[in-house]
């Protein structure tokens, strides 16, 4: 099954470094970042997991839980965790799913056979508290992802949900945002009493509401 934005994130039960996880129950009312990495004991993955673990407080501030996955078995995950702490200076503080039967990888289409027929690519799914998939990224094995960018996309998604604004190119926290085109000027006046800069009828720039 092809997953698309807006689809319900498939539920599953799978083993992890923090014990068996029933995904929807584990997610609860949080947002979730579910991401796959190709293999344990590999250099790029080691750096990604260490850095993501350092960002866990930032994810928590945004009500986001993080969960990783590879097709390697749980015993491998458990012995690799020590290497992550030793080399990245940070203990793993979120669960890593062990998916040797590819249950989750297949559900989320994380194995791309023309890239590699056994290893997962670097997929990222951002899932909202209603269990809807809100963002998907796919990177090749050799390119480490930018997890600051993943935090930035969560900020953008949460702003859109909370304030009916979209974020322009290269937007960062605190910068101006765009009133969503679906909102009439009449309704916009109620939500944005400070006004906006109407560069075109469809391009209405305003201050970020929640700063």
102 is catalytic: no
- Shortest distance (Å) from residue 45 CB to ligand BEZ: 4
Quote the least distance from Cβ 47 to ligand BEZ, whole Å.
8
Residue 44 or 136: the one with the smaller Cβ distance to ligand BEZ is 44
Q: Nearest distance from residue 39's CB to ligand BEZ, in Å?
A: 5
Contact 77, 92 (CB under 8 A): no
Q: Is the dihedral of CA 97, 64, 108, 143 positive or negative?
A: negative
Largest CA distance in the chain: 59
Q: Which residues contact 176 (CB under 8 A, 6 or more apart)?
A: 168, 205, 206, 207, 208
Tokens representing 27 are 């997610």
DSSP secondary structure letter of residue 43: H
For ligand BEZ, the binding residues (CB under 6 A) are 38-39, 42-45, 141-142
Q: Give the C-alpha separation, 9 to 179, whole Å.
A: 28
Q: Could you tell me the smallest distance in angstroms from the CB atom of residue 51 to ligand BEZ?
A: 13
Burial of 34 (0-12, 13-18, 19+ CB in 10 A): buried
Please identify, using beta-carbon distances, which residue of 77 and 134 lies nearer to ligand BEZ. 77
- Pick the catalytic residue: 9, 45, 126, 188? 45
Measured between alpha carbons, how far is 148 from 76 in angstroms, rounded to an integer?
A: 27
Q: Which is nearer to ligand BEZ, 2 or 142 (CB)?
A: 142
- In the bound state with ligand BEZ, the residue whose beta carbon lies nearer, of 142 and 170, is 142
Catalytically annotated residues: 45
């Amino acid at each position: 099954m092809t997953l698309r934005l807006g689809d319900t994130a498939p539920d599953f039960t799978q083993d992890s470094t923090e014990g068996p996880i029933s995904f929807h129950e584990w997610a609860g009312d949080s947002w979730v970042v579910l991401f796959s990495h190709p293999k344990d004991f590999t250099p790029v993955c080691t750096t990604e997991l260490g850095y993501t673990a350092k960002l866990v407080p930032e994810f928590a501030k945004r009500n986001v839980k993080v969960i990783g996955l590879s097709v390697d078995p749980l015993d491998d995950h458990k012995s690799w965790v020590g290497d992550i702490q030793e080399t990245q200076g940070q203990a793993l503080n979120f669960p890593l799913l062990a998916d040797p039967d590819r249950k989750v990888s297949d559900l989320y289409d994380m194995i791309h056979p023309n890239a590699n027929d056994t290893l997962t690519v670097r997929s990222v799914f951002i899932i909202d508290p209603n269990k809807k998939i809100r963002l998907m990224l796919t990177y090749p094995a050799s390119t480490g992802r930018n997890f600051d960018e993943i935090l930035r996309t969560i900020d953008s998604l949460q702003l859109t949900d909370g304030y009916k604004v979209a974020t322009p190119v290269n937007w960062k926290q605190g910068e101006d945002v765009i009133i969503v085109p679906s909102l009439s000027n009449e309704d916009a006046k109620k939500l944005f009493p400070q006004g906006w800069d109407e560069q075109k009828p469809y391009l209405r720039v305003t201050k970020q509401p929640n700063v």
